Amino acid sequence: MMKLVEPTLKYKDTWLAAIKELNNEGAKGFWNVPTYPTDINEYIERTQNHSQGKDLPDYWVPATTYWLIDDEKFVGHVNVRHELTDKLKIIGGHIGYYIRPTERRKGYGYKILGLALIKAHELGLKKVMITCNDDNVGSIKVIERNGGILKDKVQTEEEGLVRHYWIESR
């Protein structure tokens, strides 16, 4: 059964395997910002604090982290940001997600975003903004299949052309 859970030691081994996959592809992402955690306990504590608005870097907002688990295995990660800053309105939005490389192109992106929209609604967010790079065909399909409406495209120095979508939470 597929589900979203907050980070937990229960899935430590498959989480660590996913981190190794992501590091091998040279990706930067959820596990090493703002700094690379020294262990999973530090990572779990950090995500719990961030969901409560504690120990946030200056430019961050409170955000709740969830893991997508399927068949008792870590498949992906999603962050639901509780609010937007001016920067997040350009790059980032309310929801950011990542699927581990060996599990891509299996429909998990669609599922993780759909479940995150439910969590966003539980946080009181009626509509959420999601951004993706204009050349990220997979994310474009996932966002639009989940009801995303393209608002505009903005040229940025960091990411190039970025699409801005709005989606009703569930």
Dump pLDDT digits (tens) for 53-64.
999 988 899 999
Residues in CB range of 83: below 8 A, 6 or more apart: 61, 62
pTM comes to 0.93
- The whole-chain average pLDDT of the chain stands at 92
Dump pLDDT digits (tens) for 87-138.
999 999 999 999 999 999 999 999 999 999 999 999 999 999 999 999 999 9
How many other CB atoms are there within 10 angstroms of residue 62's CB atom? 16
Dump pLDDT digits (tens) for 81-98.
999 999 999 999 999 999
Domains and CATH numbers, the chain: 3-125 (3.40.630.30)
Q: Considering the chain, what percentage of its residues have pLDDT values greater than 90?
A: 79
Segment holding 45, helix H or strand E: helix 40-51
- Asked if the model's pLDDT at residue 32 lies above 80, the reply is no
For residue 28, the model assigns a pLDDT of 64
Residues in CB range of 101: below 8 A, 6 or more apart: 21, 22, 24, 25
- Asked if the model's pLDDT at residue 141 lies above 70, the reply is yes
Q: Which residue in this structure is represented by tokens 């990220």? A: 136
How many other CB atoms are there within 10 angstroms of residue 129's CB atom? 19
**Mean pLDDT across the stretch 32-51?**
82
For residue 58, the model assigns a pLDDT of 82
Tokens of 120: 């966003």
Whole-number CA gyration radius for the chain: 15
